[in-house]
Amino acid sequence: MNKDYKIVWENCMKIIKDNVPTISFRTWFEPIVPIKLENNVLTIQVPSQFFYEYLEEHYIDILGKTLRKELGEGVKLEYSIVMENNSYSGNKQYTVKIPTQNKTNIQNRPVSVKIEENTIKNPFVIPGIKKLHVDPQLNQDNSFDNFIEGECNRLARSAGYAVANNPGGTAFNPLFIYGDSGLGKTHLAQAIGIEVKKRFPEKTVLYVNSNKFQTQFTEAIRNNNRNDFVHFYQMIDVLIIDDIHWLTTEKTQDIFFHIFNHLHQSGKQIILTSDKPPVELQGIEQRLLSRFKWGLSADLSKPDYQTRISILKKKTYNDGIVLSDEVIEYIASHVTTNIRELEGALISLLAQSTLNKKEITIDLTKQIIDKLVKNTKREISIDYIQKVVCDYFNMPMELLKSKTRKREIVQARQIAMFFAKSMTKSSLVTIGTQIGNKDHATVLHACKTVNNLIDTDKSFRVYIDEIEKKLKL
């Protein structure tokens, strides 16, 4: 007996509302209208082709889970897309079978691992050996085909492609990819893993963020499974560690040191990403830093204008959206910080156009993009603050980070700490580590000193005002 489609959809909406951000729920789910439920096929109406494609790309997992919960396995979802333009008015239909589970097509083959002595042995398995399935944790969208090459990333992309063609067999081991947030480090690292799986299906590839690596190691210690943790990572053929700069604890660095050595000596490929090159990393043991320099360090910089144009054209082509060159050029000219914000600006424009049923003109583009750029505060980093302070006092940054106790250097260092505390979200420990390798108490003392001088010294107050203006430009 068929359930009432409205009740089914209401139940789904309740679950979805609790699992997605409020703004996302209002933007992408409230406009959906349930139409019918027949033969385990739920039909929903969405405002546009773009709306349907966005749901499929970003929310098919939660839609699938909620529908399977309500209607069981084998449920199908049908989209009725409202088509409204000058030449046609009607509906376009798409029927999508909800997957039983969200699995990538990129899979590793089972690998053999030793069974611990206290494990109950399976009589149908070779003694001491069992097969282990390792999920590579790769997103198929992060392929080389979707990674736009430009001057900003040519070296890193070329090196990555060389590694994918001969993992562990090039001089680029480890391959250390670095750059600011949103420039495509994760995309490129995963693209290498995806290409390796295509060319060498027998190789075991694993992508893991350093925070997850750290959490796994902590759990292994707690459960007395340290050796299992080490053996697991030592059997990986291509290991990708994202955001290696967050590998901060001494014990985790020690265990990674041994895993790194084993993999490298065994001819396995290691790929690391970071927001800084090895020479600028803080809080990482010297023996690890020296190994990070064994291979190739390749940087990703901000995309230039032509690369931004290419990224937007590729994105709109993949999404089946047609935008005028004037619109694309306007977006590329005004959103210049990184790729993530560039794609976010495009999504915001398309969403506004869809929900308000407005054609994407240059006037609408200016309205949306100008508002986004105006409301987006530029992230100020500790390094940028140090650079501005050093430029203002005409001193090299190495001097600011040194241990010298010269009065003018100490004062510049204190000013940098003061602005880092007030203009970034970094902890006192992080600020101290990056500015002269000091402790949090030194940072607190520096801030107190600067505040006192602002109140008592007019010339010093001028310094602060002028540096603040430069930082806010």
What is the model's pLDDT at position 131? Answer: 53
**Is pLDDT of 234 > 50?**
yes
The larger pLDDT score, comparing residue 255 to residue 112, is at 255
What is the model's pLDDT at position 178? Answer: 93
d(Cα 126, Cα 109) in Å, to the nearest integer? 18
C-alpha radius of gyration, the chain, whole number: 27
**Is pLDDT of 153 > 80?**
yes
Q: Summarize the confidence of residues 76-83 as an average pLDDT.
A: 81
**Is pLDDT of 116 > 70?**
no
CA quadruple 6, 10, 11, 17: dihedral, nearest 10: 160
What is the model's pLDDT at position 100? Answer: 43
| Both structure tokens of 84 | 């409204």
Q: Summarize the confidence of residues 279-287 as an average pLDDT.
A: 87
The strand pairing partners of 97, in sequence order, are 76
What is the model's pLDDT at position 192? Answer: 96
Residues 6+ apart with CB under 8 A from 414: 446, 447, 449, 450
The strand pairing partners of 132, in sequence order, are 111
**Is pLDDT of 89 > 90?**
no
What is the model's pLDDT at position 92? Answer: 54
What is the model's pLDDT at position 438? Answer: 86
- Residues 189 and 239 sit within 8 Å (Cβ to Cβ): no
Side-by-side strand order, sheet with 205-209: 205-209, 238-242, 269-274, 175-179, 296-300
- Out of 159-173, 363-377, 400-414, least confident range: 363-377
- pLDDT band for 412, please (50, 70, 90 cuts): very high
d(Cα 374, Cα 372) in Å, to the nearest integer? 5
- Out of 53-67, 87-101, 104-118, 326-340, least confident range: 87-101
Percentage of residues in the chain having pLDDT higher than 90: 29
Residues 6+ apart with CB under 8 A from 14: none
The strand pairing partners of 111, in sequence order, are 132
Max mean pLDDT range (43-57, 282-296, 304-318):
282-296
- pLDDT band for 240, please (50, 70, 90 cuts): very high
Q: Summarize the confidence of residues 66-85 as an average pLDDT.
A: 80
**Is pLDDT of 228 > 90?**
no
What is the model's pLDDT at position 124? Answer: 34
pLDDT tens digit sequence for 5-17: 899 999 999 999 8
- Residues 343 and 367 sit within 8 Å (Cβ to Cβ): no
Average pLDDT, the chain: 83
- pLDDT band for 134, please (50, 70, 90 cuts): confident
pLDDT tens digit sequence for 202-222: 999 999 999 889 888 988 888
The strand pairing partners of 469, in sequence order, are none
| Both structure tokens of 453 | 């001088």
**Residue 20 corresponds to which amino acid?**
V
Closest CA to 73 of 49, 91, 53, 98: 98
**Is pLDDT of 118 > 50?**
no
- pLDDT band for 115, please (50, 70, 90 cuts): very low
What is the model's pLDDT at position 117? Answer: 47
| Both structure tokens of 13 | 């909406």
Find the distance separating the first CA and the last CA of the chain, reported in whole Å.
Answer: 65
Q: Summarize the confidence of residues 138-156 as an average pLDDT.
A: 89
Q: Summarize the confidence of residues 9-32 as an average pLDDT.
A: 84
d(Cα 416, Cα 382) in Å, to the nearest integer? 8
Q: Summarize the confidence of residues 411-420 as an average pLDDT.
A: 93
Residues 6+ apart with CB under 8 A from 406: none
Closest CA to 331 of 319, 348, 345, 320: 345
- Concatenate the DSSP letters of all residues of 403-424 into one string: ----HHHHHHHHHHHHHHHHHS
What is the model's pLDDT at position 90? Answer: 47
- Residues 181 and 338 sit within 8 Å (Cβ to Cβ): yes
Give the SS3 label for residue 105.
coil
| Both structure tokens of 247 | 């590998």
Percentage of residues in the chain having pLDDT higher than 70: 87
**Is pLDDT of 376 > 60?**
no
| Both structure tokens of 281 | 């990393």
| Both structure tokens of 5 | 């489609």
Q: Summarize the confidence of residues 124-147 as an average pLDDT.
A: 71
For residue 252, the tally of other CB atoms under 10 A from its CB is 19
